[in-house]
Structure 1
Amino acid sequence: MTTTRFAPSPTGWMHIGNLRAALMNFCIARQQGGTFILRIDDTDQERSKPEYVDGILDALAWLGITYDRIEYQSKRLERYEAAKAQLIEMGRLYECFETPTELDLKRKKQLNMGKPPVYDRSALDLSEADKDRLREERGGSHWRFKLDWERIEWTDGILGDISIDAASVSDPVLIKESGQFLYTLASVVDDVDMGITNVVRGSDHVTNTATQIQMIRALGGTVPQFAHHSLLTGPQGEALSKRLGTLSLKDLKAKGIEPMSVMSLMARLGSADPVELRDTVQEIIDGFELGKFGVAPTKFDVLDLEPLTARINAAKPFDAVKDEVLALGVPAHLAETFWTVVRENITFMSDMAEWWTLFRDGAPALVDDEDREMIETAFSLLGEPAYTADTWAEWTNAVKEATGRKGKGLFMPLRKAVTGRASGPDMSNVMQLMQVKPRF
């Protein structure tokens, strides 16, 4: 059975970049009728926060991404201890004592000598007496996985054939001085235990994948099908940060972005197919093809979500928005007309409030100097509300006769004077919703 996972770290709000991996792994599992696991990578107890876990759960629910079960790595520490003991017994995990400063000096020396900055495995030469002395002096140690120096090869689901020489990679640190199990160990143990068959993640994990393949084999597991998607950048090619608030899913939701606009964009962004607005999550699943995604960095512009959101909102029937409209204070007998008039002129549902304020209270007139006399005459010819759908035509005809204005020279100044803006709904619809006589 196909089994995939999404393993976010709850050390910040779930970010638009995290969503790519979640969406791809979700689609693969659902297409195959398999299992999709949400795995919370919370082994870093200092930085992991309950509110960030809640944020992940809320974001996935908002987007319609369902999971079959949830796992917490903080509840599997005993299993990681067992894996540690197993790897030590096999001679694949060894204790190291260098400080970050010492490691940095080693890297700089290697670079100055024209050598790759790869850990020199000097800890393997330590005697037990040396280790006892260093533990006494330094109070802690970290643990590295001993790679077999051979080529590590796999066929990537996006990148194609990959081959990495393990001798060009430092033995990865799996356990910190504090005793914290790092992502590399916990992820591998979980993937083996949970029978993960497919892993899609960012291309920044390619080197991790090489080392993890050796670890999976050392632990007797089956290597999943790996695929590495391109990384998202900003519209100018700048890096995206997980903690950049404006790109957190929490903030996109609060702004009024529609979830299907996010899903529709992210399901196609970076692929050979154009972005198409979808109505349901099932349509997203059915149209997903991993092989169509490219390897080049993919530009993401949050502003691209706004026209998609506007299209979704414009298509909503009145029954779906009735409560929101009435909550603005729109009289019940005008509510459906109000929605019909403004639906094409909003991006976010919250934009309705500005339109109702205009209809209820009027707006500061926007009048150019050359139009001032004409507008004074026009307003003197307009009676008090209530207005009807015929008011605009009757009023503009009267103003035309009185001033000689016609066409754009008539209609645009009147629109700007009534609404305080140069664009918006058809003015015959605007007038029948106006609750006060326009003035300036």
Structure 2
Amino acid sequence: MTTTRFAPSPTGHIHVGNLRTALMNYLIARKTGGTFILRLDDTDRERSKQEYADGIQRDLEWLGLQWDRTERQSDRLDRYAEAADALRGAGRLYEVFETPTELDLKRKKQLNMGKPPVYDRAGLALSNEDRERLRAEGREGYWRFRLDQERIEWPDGIIGDVSIDAASVSDPVLIRHDGQVLYTFASSVDDVDMGVTDIVRGADHVTNTATQIQIIRALGGEPPRFAHHSLLTGPGGEELSKRLGTLSLRDLREQGVAPEALLSLMARLGSNQPVTLRMSLDELAEGFDLSQFGASPTKFDAEDLWPLTRERNQHLPFEAVRDRIAAMGVPGDIAERFWSVARANITKLDDLGEWWSLMRDGAQPLIDPEDAEFIPQALAMLPARPWTGATWGEWTGAVKAATGRKGKGLFMPLRKALTGMDHGPEMADLMPLLQRVPAAEG
């Protein structure tokens, strides 16, 4: 049985980069009938907030990414302590005392000597007396995992075969001096205990994966299958990480981006498949295949979300927008006709408000100087209400006969006089919905 997980930290709002990870893990689970776990990485007590945890769940629900169960790392601190004791007993977890300044000096010295800046394992040489002396000096100990210095290899689902020499990697810190369990350790314990079989995450985690494979094995577990997706850049190839704060799912939702648009783009971005609108997660899961994704940085342009949002909104059935249209005050007897006329001229659903305002209140006429005499003459010929689908044709026919105008020189000035715009729905469809036309009746 396939088990995947999405493990965000509730220290902020999730963004498009996080979504890519969540969606890939979700689709793998759904495609195989497996389990998708939402695991909140909330061991950072100072930065983790319930409001962010709630926001993460709200964002996933908006997208329809339903998880099978929720786990919180803050509920598992006793389990991490137990696992840490086991690693200490096996000689894989050792206490160190270097300060950040001391570590920085060591790294600079190694670089000056042409050596890789890898931790020198000085902590392994400390005796019990040394550790007691350092504590008496006010030093605070923290804990590193002793890597087996061998090659760590795995067949990555996206970037292919990976081989990393553990000797080129510093022994990772797993527990801070204040007892906080760090991501690398807590995640490894969880993946073992929760039976996680597949993990997709960003390419910036490749080195983490190497160390976690050894941690998982030291805990007696079998490492899951890993895949590392490419990192997102801006449309010009620029680093995107500095802009992710403006690309949170919450902000995109408030801007009017459709969930189906966001999912359709993120499920295919970076793959060899074209991005096309899909209206359900089942459709996305059908064509999803990790092997179709590349390892190169992937350009993301938020503007690409709008054509997909427009396409999705313009194809919604009336039932999907009935309540929204009623809340705008559109009378029930014309609500469905209003939708059929306005839908082809919106991108966001919020745009419907502008069209109802036009139909309800009328528009400021837009009259070009060369039409200053023509428009009053034409408006005086407007048929009496009620207007029907035939009114536009009858009116423009009469105006043409009276003035000799035709084609664009006839139709465009009349459209601009009635709507204040040079574009919009077919006037034959729009006219019966116009509640007020100031230019004609004011």
- Return 41-50 or 299-308, whichever deviates more: 299-308
Asked whether the equivalents of residues 96 and 141 of structure 2 are also in contact (C-alpha less than 8 Å), the reply is: yes
Asked whether the equivalents of residues 17 and 240 of structure 1 are also in contact (C-alpha less than 8 Å), the reply is: no
- Return 12-21 or 100-109, whichever deviates more: 100-109
Pair 1:117-2:108 in alignment: no
Aligned counterparts of 1:141 and 1:368: Cα–Cα separation in 2: 79
Identity rate, percent: 65
Unaligned ranges ≥5, structure 2? none
- Return 119-128 or 206-215, whichever deviates more: 119-128
Aligned counterparts of 2:412 and 2:134: Cα–Cα separation in 1: 82
The equivalent of 1:54 in structure 2 is 54
AA partner of residue 216 (structure 1): I
Aligned counterparts of 1:373 and 1:398: Cα–Cα separation in 2: 17
Post-superposition offset of 1:295: 0.8
The equivalent of 1:414 in structure 2 is 414
Normalising by structure 1, we get a TM-score of 0.95
Aligned counterparts of 1:136 and 1:87: Cα–Cα separation in 2: 26
Post-superposition offset of 1:253: 2.1
Aligned counterparts of 1:88 and 1:427: Cα–Cα separation in 2: 78
Post-superposition offset of 1:357: 0.2
AA partner of residue 305 (structure 2): L
- Return 52-61 or 410-419, whichever deviates more: 410-419
AA partner of residue 295 (structure 2): V
Aligned counterparts of 1:417 and 1:102: Cα–Cα separation in 2: 76
AA partner of residue 405 (structure 1): R
The equivalent of 1:320 in structure 2 is 320
Asked whether the equivalents of residues 199 and 224 of structure 2 are also in contact (C-alpha less than 8 Å), the reply is: yes
Asked whether the equivalents of residues 17 and 242 of structure 1 are also in contact (C-alpha less than 8 Å), the reply is: no
Q: 1:373 to 1:86 in 2, by over 3 A?
A: same
Asked whether the equivalents of residues 11 and 52 of structure 1 are also in contact (C-alpha less than 8 Å), the reply is: yes
- Return 367-376 or 324-333, whichever deviates more: 367-376
AA partner of residue 62 (structure 1): W
Post-superposition offset of 1:36: 1.6
Post-superposition offset of 1:125: 2.4
The equivalent of 2:229 in structure 1 is 229
AA partner of residue 8 (structure 2): P
RMSD: 1.8
- Return 121-130 or 346-355, whichever deviates more: 121-130
The equivalent of 2:64 in structure 1 is 64
Residue 30 of structure 2 aligns to a residue in which SS?
helix
The equivalent of 1:389 in structure 2 is 389
Q: 1:168 to 1:334 in 2, by over 3 A?
A: same
- Return 36-45 or 111-120, whichever deviates more: 111-120
Asked whether the equivalents of residues 389 and 429 of structure 2 are also in contact (C-alpha less than 8 Å), the reply is: yes
Aligned counterparts of 1:63 and 1:49: Cα–Cα separation in 2: 22
Post-superposition offset of 1:339: 0.7
Aligned counterparts of 2:65 and 2:328: Cα–Cα separation in 1: 31
- Return 228-237 or 178-187, whichever deviates more: 228-237
Pair 1:352-2:377 in alignment: no
Deviation beyond 4 Å, 4+ runs, structure 1: none
Post-superposition offset of 1:384: 5.9
AA partner of residue 274 (structure 1): P
AA partner of residue 281 (structure 2): V
Post-superposition offset of 1:379: 2.5
The equivalent of 2:30 in structure 1 is 30
The equivalent of 1:309 in structure 2 is 309
Q: 1:114 to 1:421 in 2, by over 3 A?
A: farther
Asked whether the equivalents of residues 16 and 244 of structure 2 are also in contact (C-alpha less than 8 Å), the reply is: no
Residue 48 of structure 1 aligns to a residue in which SS?
coil
The equivalent of 1:165 in structure 2 is 165
- Return 237-246 or 140-149, whichever deviates more: 237-246
Post-superposition offset of 1:369: 2.4
Aligned counterparts of 1:374 and 1:439: Cα–Cα separation in 2: 13
AA partner of residue 115 (structure 1): K
Post-superposition offset of 1:383: 5.1
Aligned counterparts of 1:256 and 1:80: Cα–Cα separation in 2: 42
Aligned counterparts of 1:251 and 1:401: Cα–Cα separation in 2: 53
Superimposed CA distance per residue, residues 11-31 of structure 1 (whole angstroms, 9 cap, x where no aligned partner): 111111111111111111222
